[in-house]
Amino acid sequence: QSALTQPPSASGSPGQSVTISCTGTSSDVGGYNYVSWYQQHPGKAPKLMIYEVSKRPSGVPDRFSGSKSGNTASLTVSGLQAEDEADYYCSSYAGSNSHVFGTGTKVTVL
């Protein structure tokens, strides 16, 4: 149950795109199409942005997109906006009804 690996930080100017990686193993990210991404603003609860690798919950802008290749999943935020500045966490199903989160990435809008 080791945490998935994410870069500590990422940044981009308004209107640009930023991509965050999430690396796991064949026992979690690579083994299941149950990767999710969460956005967390300071002092707030996480908010689901992407589920099942690339699906967006109702109300999430289509600027947010997800993908997966092998043991690495990615979240891309296109057309960066000031309100996108937050911490982002990936999560994956890890078998036996357990889940594992990523180490988190702080996204800064320059």
Residues lying near other proteins in the complex (CB under 8 A):
1, 3, 32, 34, 36, 38, 40, 44-48, 51-52, 57, 89, 91, 93, 96-104
Contact status, residue 91 vs residue 36, Cβ threshold 8 Å: yes
Q: With respect to other proteins, which residue has the nearer C-beta, 52 or 83? A: 52
CA–CA separation, 85 and 83 (whole Å): 5
79 or 95: CB nearest other proteins: 95
Q: How far is the CB of 104 from other proteins (least distance, A)?
A: 4
CB of 27 to other proteins, least distance (A): 13
CB 86 within 8 Å of CB 75: no
**What is the H or E stretch that residue 67 is in?**
strand 64-69
CB of 68 to other proteins, least distance (A): 14
Residue 103: CB minimum distance to other proteins, A? 5
Whole-angstrom distance, CA of residue 16 vs CA of residue 19:
10
Query: Radius of gyration of the chain from Cα atoms?
Result: 13
Of the pair 47, 63, the CB lying nearest other proteins is at 47
